[in-house]
Chain A
Amino acid sequence: MDLAQRYTNVGVIGAAGKMGSGIALLLTHEMALRKTSPGAREERFKLTLMDVNDEALDGLKGYLRSQMRRLAEKSTVRLRAHYADRPDLVENGEIIQAYVDDALDLARFTTDLDQLAGCRLVFEAIAENIDLKVKIYKQVKKLAPEAFIFTNTSSIPIRLLDEQAGLGGGLVGFHFYNPPAVQRLLELITSPTTRDDLVADAQQIAKDLKKKVIPASDIAGFIGNGHFIRDGLYGIAEMEKLRGDYGFAGGTYMVNRVCQDWLIRPMGIFQLIDYVGVDVFQCILGVMNQFIEGEELHSDLIDELMKRGVRGGQNPDGSQKDGFFRYEKGQISAVYDLDKGDYQPIAAAWSDRFDKALGGLPDGHFPWRALSRDTSKTAKLEGYFGNLAKAEGLGARLGRDYLKRSKEIGEQLVSSGVAAKAEDVNGVLLNGFFHLYGPINDYA
């Protein structure tokens, strides 16, 4: 079956979730473009969007309607040609509305997995739970024997899933980054048993969805989480070292700052864990620990936080839930104090002591936001990291150590075969995590 045929009947499982809804949007747009393209009018297209939560499916419908309008507004130059044979559609506004209607008409919203019968492409974006995934795949295999399955797993080896569900190489890892509709990076995970025609289709679909593909080997955590999880564990260990002198809240605040300011990253490590979710972090740790030998991938602190209900992640409206930090209008406002079991507001009177202990930033420092839009950022980064190498003070020392550890992690991903080359590791961090430089660099 060629890919054009496969595109006519597509399903998304977990479509109303954070990742699933973005994947649903990308597929709606791609399928609607195919449906409305000149000459394709006779073909029938069906996109089945399945989720267990009926209420969330209503939210998905609204999300698709508003986001499809936005996409149509951006694609109007092209869409006018799609409707050239419709004399009743003249103005941009009429064409945009027609496209949104055509797009939503191809989507079916359901809580019933059986509705995926006959699907030819199935995208799965449910929780990182091996047993659940295997159970679902087995059902899909019965309902849609021809389907290729694309899993959004960010950590579970796909060969294991494929074999346990008896898919015969019909599963590929298609790891989108959050939010999928915006982030360009896609980690493509194949195993030696993955079918060649599926690999080819996966490459083409990634291209259709305008994604930048970085291949990763089928080793738990892949590249993105392979770096992030270890980077997070290092941050936690560094915080534990500072805890004696500065307390839990002080240590957390300091390590997060070092990561964001001294390393010029978009956010500090604990804010990033909050963004991903402490719960997700714990879950991925568990998966990686299960499959990766000779390395202790575990954190008592994360387990303790989960026990106390400190989970991070986002509310349905996109706002950040409490985690290591508490947030007001997206900005950090307080830090969790494990010793007190409560949040410590971050005001100058409190944080001064820790800022003084860290010391000033080295000369030539620019905030991440300013550099991210700077065409001469490479030269500026070289200058800054040159100064960091010679700088004194606790912040500079912690920064250098962090840089070194991040590089080690990156090199380990290459040497252990997770990534084929250093550029792939750097590419994931640059594109998926919005770092300004890859971990494998000459600065460390």
Chain B
Amino acid sequence: MKLRKKVYIAAGTYTISLGTGRKEFHPRKPRPGLEHYIIEAGQGVLAQVSDPRVIDECVVGNFMAARFNRQGNLAALMPTIHPSLEYKPSTRVEGACGSGGLAVMTAMKSILADLSDVVLVIGIEVQNTVKAIYGADVLAGAGHYASHRKNGHAYFFPSFFSDRAGAAFKKYGHDEVRRAMTQWFVNAIEAGRRCPEAQEHHNRVEDLHALGNTPPNPTAFVDNLNVFDCSKVSDGAAGLLVLSEEGLAKAGIAKKDAVEIVGCGTSVANLTELPADPTTLATSRSAVEKAYGMAGVSVKDLAFAEVHDCFSITGILMAEAAGICAQGEGFDFVSDGGTRPDGRLPMNLSGGLIGHGHYTGGTGVRQTVDNWKQLTGKAGDFQLEIPANRPHGLVISMGGNDKTVVVFVAKQA
């Protein structure tokens, strides 16, 4: 299936990812709330258009504000960004940590349906409102409560991915997999340091390998992951515009400052079931194949990939799901530096979820903004040179344990 008309992304922005590691973060001091982040990200987008009144519609991606912030009905917070958004259509979408990807996809559908030409998309989560042990309860909503929560781990999601790491240890050898997971962590922190908004931007740890190799502590956490294998708790928001050809003109955005979505794919898998093979991300693979097919590209046409790495093991399995490596080869590929900025296929150049931060429901929008930044030359210290023969960027936004996945392939417009 092909897109029936061209869809563009532009005017991206994101706030800092606030949480432990950022100098601005003080656990005991009051912090900005949802309202602040929506306005900061929204106004960051509007500052890049000729007139805020060109926005036809809003979509907000968010996972669990109803629990983290006791706030529902986020769609109606959009007019706080600008008075011209009053009485405009606005929709909140949710697909766990894939909410951001779904929000971009929802905006695309509106463009494709000729309902709007310019859609403002915000992805947001503010989750430092509760301690991690209670946050784990909230995030567990991305799994199936009735089937799995009661017998699940205190750290419910980390344990799912700990099980995946455990299965990989068994299948490919502990040391080989562990080495790759640590390298993934090191890459993520180093990349985060290059991005001013990243949660690890202030990270100054000298021996990242030693830190990444910290032995797991199963009595306090999970069996096969240490805390450095995990993305942190983050507050933040990202914003962008999804536009039609006409929308670009209305908003006064030059094509050089926009990217075109040339392929997309969305897949879900049955939430009530555990993965048949924990060493693969089958749903992600399915969505990637749809996006490649629609774009008429293969992995050889990619300059970089921006993938969901809620845990180090996830990032490596994503390289395989994206077809960057054959199954089982992702570990050596990562260990050998294949995903670093100078590697065969650079991944997560602003740090990914581990290095940049993971404001869950907003992350898919943040990833799409980073994809746009890279392809339009706006990535600053983490800018990659985009090869002319490989002009595409890949985004994989995932929700839950490989349950809700949205994939985009884009190139400069």
Contacts and interface: CB of A to CB of B under 8 A. Distances in A.
Interface in A66-110: 73-74, 76-80, 84, 87, 90-93, 96
B131 interface: yes
Given A77-B154, A77-B155, A96-B133, A91 B219 contact: no
Nearest to B218: A77
Contact of B137 (A77, A87, A93): A93
Interface residues of A, number: 14
A66 B131 CA distance: 14
B153 A91 contact: no
B153 A80 contact: yes
B172 interface: no
B67 to A, nearest CB: 10
Among A76, A84, A90, A92, the one with the most B-chain Cβ atoms within 10 Å of its Cβ is A92
Contacts, number: 32
Contact of A92 (B145, B151, B154, B218): B154
Interface of B: 131, 133-134, 136-137, 140, 145, 149-151, 153-155, 218-221
Given A74-B220, A92-B133, A92-B137, 5 more contacts: A76-B154, A84-B151, A87-B150, A92-B134, A93-B137
A80 B220 contact: no
Contacts of A96: 133
25 contacts: A73-B131, A73-B133, A74-B220, A76-B133, A76-B154, A77-B153, A77-B155, A77-B218, A77-B219, A77-B220, A77-B221, A79-B154, A80-B153, A80-B154, A84-B151, A87-B150, A90-B149, A90-B150, A91-B137, A92-B133, A92-B134, A92-B136, A92-B137, A93-B137, A96-B133
A77 B221 CA distance: 7
The 3 closest A-B pairs by CB, nearest first: A76-B154, A91-B137, A77-B154
Contact of A91 (B149, B151, B220, B221): B149
Contacts of A74: 220
A78 B136 CA distance: 15
Contacts of B140: 91
A79 B133 CA distance: 12
A171 B137 CA distance: 46
A93 B134 contact: yes
A91 B218 CA distance: 19
A274 B289 CA distance: 70
Nearest to A86: B150
Contacts of B151: 84
Nearest to B136: A92
Contacts of B149: 90-91
Nearest to A94: B137
Contacts of B154: 76-77, 79-80, 92
